Amino acid sequence: MTATPSANAGGSAGGLGNARIGVVTFPGTLDDRDTQRAIRLAGAEAVELWHRDKDLKQVDAVVLPGGFSYGDYLRAGAISRFSPVMEMIIEGARQGLPVLGICNGFQVLTETHLLPGAMLRNNHLHFICRDQRLRVENAETAWTNTYEAGQEISVPLKNIDGRYVADERTLDELEAEGRVAFRYLGMNPNGSLRDIAGITNAAGNVVGLMPHPEHAVEPLIGTGRTDGLGFFTSVLKQLVSA
């Protein structure tokens, strides 16, 4: 289910140190610096992308980080979907560019229809911030290939619009095609249908999830574990093997 990045994505990943991973900043983005740090810890170059950029600066992959883009006005991720940089990301993703959406980034991916479904207000109507246990359901995507299917990890979760919903037909398709990437373990924190915490597209190059792996990459901060680092080492492994 993994995908090969398009030559239009940059194609510079001849080794870990040469991989360039773009991190998009929208007005209201909060976790772009944390994501850049996670990328550097994994061994790649973090490239800043501004929401008004009209090119992707020859990056090999893109992360849409968490936050409250455009203040979550209208609907979380709905305005960001029309930012100039997203036109290039949508085109790149359809050609195989690895794209990861974290929290607000996941919301943006559903708004662009790169991933199916939608994100609604948590069923308890409160903001939640906690360490969250997840089960890796799909370890074959560009962003999960250093994990094992069934592996349990713990990463922080913080959101108010984190309830994943889709119609029954879409949910059945996601299950049947192995496109549920992560599932919540223990208490469902926001009412997401079928305990879905993250999904992937059919090609495996686009992944979105609500929890924040970039906050679990160093033992002294976040959860005190490094369970989230695998997202970023996975995409490097994918790039150098392509």
**Catalytic residue annotation:** 103, 212, 214
Residue 55, classed as helix, strand or coil, is coil
Give the DSSP H/E element, type plus range, for residue 90: helix 84-94
Residue 83 CA to residue 86 CA, distance in Å, equals 6
Backbone angles phi, psi at 45, to 5 degrees: -95, 130
Residue 143 CA to residue 235 CA, distance in Å, equals 5
Q: Which residues contact 13 (CB under 8 A, 6 or more apart)?
A: 5, 19, 20, 60, 236, 239, 240, 242
